[in-house]
Structure 1
Amino acid sequence: MSDTPFGFGLPPEEPEDGDKGKKGGQGGPANPFGFGPGGLPGGLPGGADNPFAAMFGSMNPNDLGAAFQQLGQMLSYEGGPVNWDMAKDIARQTVAQGTADGVKDASVGIAEKSAVEEAVRLADLWLDGVTSLPSGANAAVAWSRAEWVEATLPVWKELVDPVAERVGAAMGSVLPEEMQAMAGPLLGMMRSMGGAMFGQQIGQALGVLAGEVVGSTDIGLPLGPAGRAALLPLNIESFGKDLSVPSDEVRLYLALREAAHARLFAHVPWLRSHLFGAVEGYARGIKVDTSKLEDVVGQLDPSNPEQLQEALQGGMFQPQDTPEQKAALARLETALALVEGWVDAVVHEAAKPRLTSADAMRETMRRRRASGGPAEQTFATLIGLELRPRRLRDASRLWASLTDARGVDGRDGLWEHPDMLPTASDLDDPDGFVHREQLDFSEIDKMLGEAAEKRDQGEGDEKK
């Protein structure tokens, strides 16, 4: 769990000219989402592309007009807790300039689109034989990095706004009630600045993430529009560069994972709200250290908004160690493990007989998810919550054992209702969940039958 949920920290050292674009060491950002010296974001260029650098960096008289204009735009922002227009602009600038990995974004060509469509079509055909859930992809799309930013932004709003809203509420509560009316303009300025700072931080983070993801389900949540299986050809090429696996096999394996996720989220109607509800429940438990905020408000110099930024750097946000908070986190971690474990199991079953690289690709993806790859790290940066499926291997083994014991229909039937799914304690003993005597499969069959009858009845009523 991240102690600095919004990733404010010290910047990486500037890479040598010959090392730009490399990861690790001096060639890549150790903290790609952190603010740099004086509160400036590390990794973004100065000048007009970076409003904070333009306003508070080394300025000459010719810069003052533009700086004050940008300051006015920041302070006039009256939207929600995050300036999402700024976030989108910065994310698109980041991918256009190749800030994250030195590779500039490019439009997807016709050949790449055709390759993605063919891979998803073939993946869906293979999945038909290993799961009872029908295809969930009405269309297969090939996205550029910028298109990924545009398509996933609505979901990021849903995920990030609850945390940012708590910060905004805290800003309005640090002053005594009798002083809040008098300090209205100051509080309004603070909220506008907070929205801009969140927007800048989130925009940079999403720009970096857009350079790493290979599809729309990398973090285990459905980020893209429903019914679309999406892959990013440019990132798939980078992903497979050092794997010693043919590029068409890499693309097909990733298409299998994307199509499997699409089936699950399309045909398990309660799953999305279950996962997002757990995220929101966790966000409600985050508290703001108002004592630090009070100090900032008491000493705030309107001409120096970096003071508020320094407070954010100081660890203002801390999760509460409450039963509710622990329950929300456990619920989310278990659900993510079950989703990723099911995808891992069915994809391996589909790929093993057909792809010579199936075992290698499976292990690569497992390590990428379990070790806290860029997707998980970015999410932790944005809302202070890691989306790492820590129990992935246990969950995958459980689903495989269920397939042996109950068949494909019996395994997939457990997704009919959340109460039927394995619990966190069941992941401790996957074989026990499958084979223990007290597991009454006849009762499960009864529940499945009742659920199917209700669904059929509902569809019949709609037709009338």
Structure 2
Amino acid sequence: MGYVDWEFAKTTGRTLVPAGPSVTPEEARAEVEAIRSAAVTARTPVAETARMQTPPEAPDALVVDRATWIAVNADSMGALLDPTFDAIVTKRGHVPGAAAQALGGKVTGAEAGALLAFMASKVLGQYDIAPGGTPSLMLVAPNIMSVADELGVDRDDFRQWVCMHEETHRVQFTATPWLRDHVIDQARSLAEDLAPDSERLQELAGRLTEKLPEVFREGGTGIAELVTTPEQRERMAALTAVMSLLEGHADVVMDDVGPAHVPTVEHIRRRFTERRRGAGAADRLLRRLLGLEAKMRQYRDGAAFVRGAQEVVGVDGFNAVWSSPETLPLAREIEDPRSWVRRVHG
């Protein structure tokens, strides 16, 4: 029996996720076909700009709705985290009884489902690395439609722009075979390390009670700062550096490809950047608690790293970053790309 009821998470997510835009079946089918076409169109310019090649056998992008996105991500979260939960329980030497596991699984499943429901209305696309399964590129049709309308941008251009970004993620992982296992292993190891024992849990509860107001204050301390040790924060920074690389590289490629294939790319980038900042105080707080503000910094810092490195060694020199885990940027190098250049290129 699992420690998270992932099927209940799917049910909860499907129940809570907001409905997508109101369209006719004909409009929905047309949008799905347009997204599929945009995904195919993105392949060649992304490969040429990134100078990376997806193997021909890599599967095509999947165009999905919000419920499907929830189901796929619940499966991936389960495959990623269940071995970690088993390792934690083994380390502690205490296995909860069947009744306690069933109840706990429902509670944690409901929590996971609520989180997935929130995210399912925000995500435009995702390369699912699918631990234990088959990786796939997903494009969330209702969100692409609704965000284009929300921003007041050309829907055809926006659709193509999103596909450029997500296709870059597909290239990153398919052209670099070791990268997927590296990210999975690092995420599992970090999750296991972050799980507190009972004594540490009591200490953290006290610290959170005392310091929680800082989380709610604009510009204050994030939750991670309150519940982790310096060593854990160092490991988190290392994984964050990799995620910053992936997101920043996708943004750089997307914008470099854009002018030739997306006529209104500058307008889209300006409007989309405004959206990333969040709509209001409540939205910013929720983003902060869920770690989405840190996600936004990954785009900005990662793009600056990629641009900085490419200015010194060009695109081909930058692509040495994909050679091995040892050539990935260190946390301190994200803010100092020339130090990465010196370490990798001498």
Is the Cα contact below 8 Å between 1:87 and 1:200 reproduced in 2? yes
Q: Please identify, of 113-122 and 202-211, the stretch whose mean Cα deviation from structure 2 is larger.
A: 202-211
Cα distance in 2 between the residues matched to 1:125 and 1:253: 14
Q: Please identify, of 340-349 and 420-429, the stretch whose mean Cα deviation from structure 2 is larger.
A: 420-429
2:334 paired residue number: 427
Cα distance in 2 between the residues matched to 1:106 and 1:222: 32
Q: 1:247 to 1:83 in 2, by over 3 A?
A: same
What is the letter of the counterpart of residue 352 of structure 1? P
Instruction: Compute the displacement of 1:331 (Å).
Output: 0.9
Secondary structure, in 3 states, of the residue corresponding to 1:231?
A: strand
Q: Percent identity?
A: 25
Deviations along 1:68-101, one digit per CA (max 9) or x if unpaired, are: xxxxxxxxxxx11111121122222334xx3xx6
Deviations along 1:360-404, one digit per CA (max 9) or x if unpaired, are: 433555566676999x968965xx898626353343133224334
Instruction: Compute the displacement of 1:258 (Å).
Output: 1.0
Instruction: Compute the displacement of 1:255 (Å).
Output: 0.6
1:143 paired residue number: 64
Deviations along 1:406-461, one digit per CA (max 9) or x if unpaired, are: 33322223211121233222222235555xxx5573x6xxxxxxxxxxxxxxxxxx
**CA-based RMSD:** 3.9
Is the Cα contact below 8 Å between 2:251 and 2:303 reproduced in 1? yes
1:290 paired residue number: 198
Q: Which has the higher helix share?
A: 2
1:35 paired residue number: none
Is the Cα contact below 8 Å between 2:242 and 2:328 reproduced in 1? no
Map of 1:69-84 to 2, 5 A cutoff?
79-84=1-6
1:200 paired residue number: 110
What is the letter of the counterpart of residue 124 of structure 1? R
Cα distance in 2 between the residues matched to 1:284 and 1:291: 16
Greater CA radius of gyration, 1 or 2?
1
Is the Cα contact below 8 Å between 1:279 and 1:328 reproduced in 2? no
- Do structure 1's residue 161 and structure 2's residue 82 form an aligned pair? yes
In the superposition, the TM-score normalised over structure 1's length comes to 0.58
2:30 paired residue number: 111
1:257 paired residue number: 165
Instruction: Compute the displacement of 1:113 (Å).
Output: 2.5
1:123 paired residue number: 42
Cα distance in 2 between the residues matched to 1:147 and 1:346: 28
Instruction: Compute the displacement of 1:290 (Å).
Output: 2.9
Secondary structure, in 3 states, of the residue corresponding to 2:239?
A: helix
Cα distance in 2 between the residues matched to 1:110 and 1:190: 45
Q: 1:385 to 1:330 in 2, by over 3 A?
A: farther
Is the Cα contact below 8 Å between 1:281 and 1:328 reproduced in 2? no
Instruction: Compute the displacement of 1:278 (Å).
Output: 2.7
Instruction: Compute the displacement of 1:328 (Å).
Output: 1.7
Secondary structure, in 3 states, of the residue corresponding to 1:242?
A: helix
Deviations along 1:153-206, one digit per CA (max 9) or x if unpaired, are: 321113443675588679984xxxxxx9xxx8xx43222211111111212221
What is the letter of the counterpart of residue 193 of structure 1? L
Map of 1:3-402 to 2, 5 A cutoff?
79-95=1-17, 98=18, 109-135=28-54, 138-161=59-82, 173=94, 187-217=97-127, 222=129, 226=134, 228-288=136-196, 290=198, 319-323=227-231, 325-365=232-272, 388=295, 390-402=297-309
How many residue pairs end up in the alignment?
A: 317
Instruction: Compute the displacement of 1:291 (Å).
Output: 6.4
Q: 1:428 to 1:121 in 2, by over 3 A?
A: same
Is the Cα contact below 8 Å between 1:341 and 1:399 reproduced in 2? yes
- Structure 2's unaligned 5+ residue stretches are 203-222
Q: Please identify, of 246-255 and 236-245, the stretch whose mean Cα deviation from structure 2 is larger.
A: 236-245
Cα distance in 1 between the residues matched to 2:6 and 2:47: 40
Instruction: Compute the displacement of 1:293 (Å).
Output: 8.9
Is the Cα contact below 8 Å between 2:12 and 2:110 reproduced in 1? yes
Secondary structure, in 3 states, of the residue corresponding to 2:150?
A: coil
What is the letter of the counterpart of residue 108 of structure 2? F
Deviations along 1:119-141, one digit per CA (max 9) or x if unpaired, are: 01211122133121113653132
Is the Cα contact below 8 Å between 2:20 and 2:143 reproduced in 1? no
Is the Cα contact below 8 Å between 1:168 and 1:191 reproduced in 2? no
Secondary structure, in 3 states, of the residue corresponding to 1:135?
A: coil
